Amino acid sequence: MDERLQKILAQWGIASRRQAEQMIVAGRVRVNGKIVQLGQKANPASDRIEVDGVLFKPSDRPVGVYLLLNKPAGVVSTCSDPRAKTTVLDLLPPKLRSGQGIHPVGRLDADSTGALLLANDGKLTFCLTHPRHSVPKTYEVWVQGSPPEQLLQVWRQGVILSGRKTLPAEVRVLDRARDQTLLQVVLSEGRNRQIRRTAELLGHPVLKLHRTAIGPIQLQPPGEPALPLGRYRPLNHSELIFLWNQVNLTSINVPVNLEEHSI
């Protein structure tokens, strides 16, 4: 059966659907020897599909890899960076960087640290980053000064960013120091630099931002040690089931058994 090529490439784990579209536009994808156009369809059972000159078949799809990374500051949430900055894939060992199709699921600002999912499942990536899905994400945020409760209530109710009001957020004080305050913020949407822009708008700029959890997927699960900066771990079965329930996938690949690695 014919399917759009970006969907095929995503299902095979070669790239996320958005990345697959970019690859097609760049002329990197051929079907039966001819460069394809965005929107073109193919039959994965009978057509020869090549990416950068490499022939792919459904049987070539690698075993599913689903990882949680504790991203350090200064590392960008992309697969490659033309400015030669360190990317999240640079934190993985060569056996995972090469030929596995692993990519970040969503983004985390270069200046921010914390929980970031990595996977080679393009369908899951597409579903989790689609606006209709709202997996709550938890952050610990140091802001400048001491915002009063009335101002935090404004944050909870939503503020106007780029002409559109943000969704309600959970905001509570964890600690107050002399000139700064530690907040826990839980968001159910992921607009560009949303926490930083909101804090700036309210007059208490962010000093440090750290994501601690994506839904129930935590850097420090109850009763376990925290995942160190620059290290990753495979998701466990219950975490994979949570993702499955979120995106309502019909199946999810079995993750490989991988050890944690540092930078």
Active site residues: 109
- Could you say which DSSP state residue 60 is in? G
| Burial of residue 237, with CB atoms counted within 10 A of its CB: 0-12 exposed, 13-18 middle, 19 or more buried | exposed
Helix then strand then coil, in percent of the chain rounded to 5, is 25, 30, 50
Angle (CA) 176 209 192, round 5°: 130
| Burial of residue 38, with CB atoms counted within 10 A of its CB: 0-12 exposed, 13-18 middle, 19 or more buried | middle
Are 258 and 234 spatial neighbours (Cβ–Cβ below 8 Å)?
A: yes
Q: Which residues 6+ apart lie within 8 Å of 155 measured at CB? A: 147, 169, 171, 185, 198, 202
